[in-house]
């Protein structure tokens, strides 16, 4: 059995007291994922599925889903299935992004490949619907949450689909295959980060707010907060990491992000606000 990956390598939030807040959420999501994908026969299906799920670098988008749910008054457990689904979508996209396709002249930074390309392709194709199945199974007739779950499914399918993550991956692909830099200017960086990390974080935050019973304004405010946080994440740690001017652009987005939280009491927003600080501190 392949050694299980350094499990779930959380982005450490070097922000003291908030650090334990995010760490506790990460631990709960990881536990929920491991329980949802137990290693059982057929091993050639579930071993790669658990491995590729936990091997994908953690995305704060799933923890943000839980934090947003709590911020609007929901219970942490109400958002666990959605937070796990967000991570599963991210893991499927990550696995496919590093596939050795014949037309990828310049491969992405090398990642460790535990399985053959065909297994990684097929497992990614299996993880995506599984994430949505997990979500639907979280419907609880006693809590009349089916309409909220349906709304979350649309949020997720849109965020990861052709106008979300897939569009961001395509833009990134175009730049890695182009020789000149004129294609990959600052505008391209922000657009790509918005589509990739930005969209996933926006989706996570919005889903948490929906499941926590937030009103429409709270849902949209948290969506925008997530969009800014994720875009900053991409600019500083993703495709923009070696580009000039990213820190300054990120600072502007940080201010916009914090502004979105101003309808909530500052005492309650402290944990969630720490995410945008941490994303900058870790730059």
Under the rule (CB under 8 A), what is the footprint of a copy of itself?
A: 42, 44-46, 49, 92-93, 96, 99-104, 116-119, 121-130, 132-133, 136-137, 139, 146-147, 149-150, 153-154, 156-158, 160-163, 165-167, 169-170, 173
What six digits make up the tokens of 138? 């979280």
Q: Which is nearer to a copy of itself, 133 or 262 (CB)?
A: 133
Report in angstroms how near the CB of residue 181 gets to a copy of itself at its nearest: 20
Backbone angles phi, psi at 229, to 5 degrees: -60, -45
Report in angstroms how near the CB of residue 39 gets to a copy of itself at its nearest: 13
Report in angstroms how near the CB of residue 23 gets to a copy of itself at its nearest: 30
Q: Report CA Rg, the chain.
A: 18
Q: Which is nearer to a copy of itself, 151 or 224 (CB)?
A: 151
Cβ 208 vs Cβ 152: under 8 Å: no
Provide the residue count of the chain: 283
Backbone angles phi, psi at 15, to 5 degrees: -130, 45
Q: Which is nearer to a copy of itself, 76 or 158 (CB)?
A: 158
Q: Which is nearer to a copy of itself, 47 or 218 (CB)?
A: 47
Report in angstroms how near the CB of residue 258 gets to a copy of itself at its nearest: 31
> Would you put residue 4 in left (φ > 0), alpha (ψ -120 to 50) or beta?
beta
Q: Kindly give the interhelix angle for 266-281 and 60-71, rounded to the nearest 10 degrees.
A: 170
């Amino acid at each position: 059995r392949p050694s299980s990956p350094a499990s779930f390598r959380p982005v450490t939030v070097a922000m003291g007291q908030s650090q334990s807040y995010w760490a506790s959420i990460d631990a709960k999501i990881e536990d929920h994922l491991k329980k949802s994908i137990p290693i059982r026969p057929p091993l050639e299906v579930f071993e790669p599925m658990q491995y590729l799920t936990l091997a994908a670098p953690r995305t704060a988008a799933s923890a943000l889903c839980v934090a947003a749910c709590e911020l609007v008054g929901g219970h942490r457990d109400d958002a666990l299935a959605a937070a796990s689904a967000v991570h599963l979508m991210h893991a499927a996209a990550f696995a496919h992004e590093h596939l050795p396709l014949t037309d990828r002249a310049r491969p992405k930074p090398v990642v460790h490949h535990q399985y053959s390309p065909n297994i990684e392709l097929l497992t990614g194709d299996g993880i995506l619907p599984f994430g949505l199945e997990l979500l639907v199974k979280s419907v609880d007739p006693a809590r009349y949450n089916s309409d909220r779950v349906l709304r979350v499914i649309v949020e997720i399918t849109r965020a990861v689909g052709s106008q979300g993550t897939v569009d961001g991956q395509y833009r990134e692909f175009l730049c890695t295959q182009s020789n000149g830099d004129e294609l990959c200017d600052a505008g391209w960086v922000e657009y790509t980060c918005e589509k990739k990390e930005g969209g996933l974080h926006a989706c996570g935050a919005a889903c948490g707010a929906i499941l926590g019973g937030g009103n429409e304004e709270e849902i949209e405010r948290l969506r925008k907060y997530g969009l800014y946080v994720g875009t900053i994440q991409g600019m500083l740690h993703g495709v923009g990491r070696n580009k000039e001017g990213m820190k300054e652009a990120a600072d502007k987005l940080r201010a916009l992000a914090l502004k979105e939280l101003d309808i909530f009491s500052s005492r309650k927003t402290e944990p969630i606000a720490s995410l945008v600080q941490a994303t900058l501190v870790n730059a």
